[in-house]
A and B are shown apart, each in its own frame.
Chain A
């Protein structure tokens, strides 16, 4: 609730700033294909299979062009990162999902080689709004999903750092398509986390996003 209000205020502030500076700005949204680099690897000594965790992202962007070909893009995004491991059992599939819902602030150096394409790369500052893990049994008959899990709360490393690189393709004046890879450097799980099976367990996000955006 509090977070939502902070989000809303930030969004309104960003929009009003962008419009007063006469920047290009817009919205972006799409799918997240999430992975975590977990150490020690949970697939070792177990029948777990590493899968991709699907998620959702959305955000605002504003771009300032320094010259015709180059500019800076700043963004504020909500991204559902994480990872999924699954194991087939008789009559059910067990999924272990680790998740981190992140508020991202990327600052991206943008290069426009042609009118349609934009390439960009840059650092990303992250704030983890919530993280945790979830065990879900996807039962075949009856067709239900039974789940339980923990939210890590104070045992989360809230502030993280990543780098991102990606490309956008302008479909028409309003819409563009976008693919981005975000490579994390920070461990999401706090050192004092007592909910994880191994002490000092590390989980670092590796995220691919595919989506569309709008110039406003």
Chain B
């Protein structure tokens, strides 16, 4: 299945490239959050605070202008989403991390109000390559860490549907800066997941900040 999705992604990209569209690459930081229902402090340790999970994204885009100021942007991205809850236990940091490593295929409608700015929005289809949770203890002295976790292959919903909204600013030449918000609409955990309280749903909510290059 994973291979099929990858193959499909590569085929899409090859089609895009062969059509001689504008294309390029993008990469940057991910600030991840997840809307858990029931909330984590209702079933996890009550002192745990919701933090941002840092991650990384990288991807490829192709772009097809429809008119002078509008067009379609298609992408294939690898993105590390998730969320983190942590608290301090006499110097040691205890964190609970939920993660989803996702292959994303957004199709975005873009609008260029000025030459430098591009605004876009559109749907995103995601395929969860790996998802699970990680319990981590960062010990203060000696400064080492212990972790244990579970990749919930069978107990995650592989397909994710989200909506993305963002903007680009052309920095000069072929480089641009980019900021995007991705609102997840599907539950990452499947209903029969025995590791979480019954009917727990987790919907990702992700902010990305990064750079891109037009090739």
Contact residues of A with B, CB < 8 Å? 1, 4, 8, 27, 29, 58, 132, 142-155, 174, 195, 214, 216
Contacts and interface: CB of A to CB of B under 8 A. Distances in A.
B147 A153 contact: no
Interface of B: 25, 27, 29, 54, 58, 132, 138-139, 142-155, 174, 213, 215
Contact of A27 (B25, B143, B154, B174): B25
Given A149-B146, A154-B143, 11 more contacts: A4-B29, A8-B29, A143-B154, A144-B132, A144-B153, A145-B153, A148-B149, A151-B147, A154-B144, A214-B213, A214-B215
Contacts of A148: 146-149
Nearest to B136: A151
Contacts of B150: 144-147
Contact of B145 (A146, A147, A150): A150
Contact of A144 (B27, B145, B151, B174): B151
B149 A151 contact: no
What DSSP secondary structure best describes chain B's contact surface? strand
Given A1-B54, A58-B58, A155-B142, A143 B147 contact: no
30 contacts: A4-B29, A8-B29, A27-B25, A27-B213, A58-B58, A132-B145, A143-B154, A144-B132, A144-B150, A144-B151, A144-B152, A144-B154, A144-B155, A145-B132, A145-B153, A146-B148, A147-B150, A148-B146, A148-B148, A149-B146, A149-B147, A150-B145, A150-B146, A151-B138, A151-B146, A152-B144, A153-B143, A153-B144, A154-B142, A154-B144
Contacts of A146: 148-150
A27 B26 CA distance: 11
A155 B144 contact: yes
Nearest to B149: A147
A202 B152 CA distance: 33
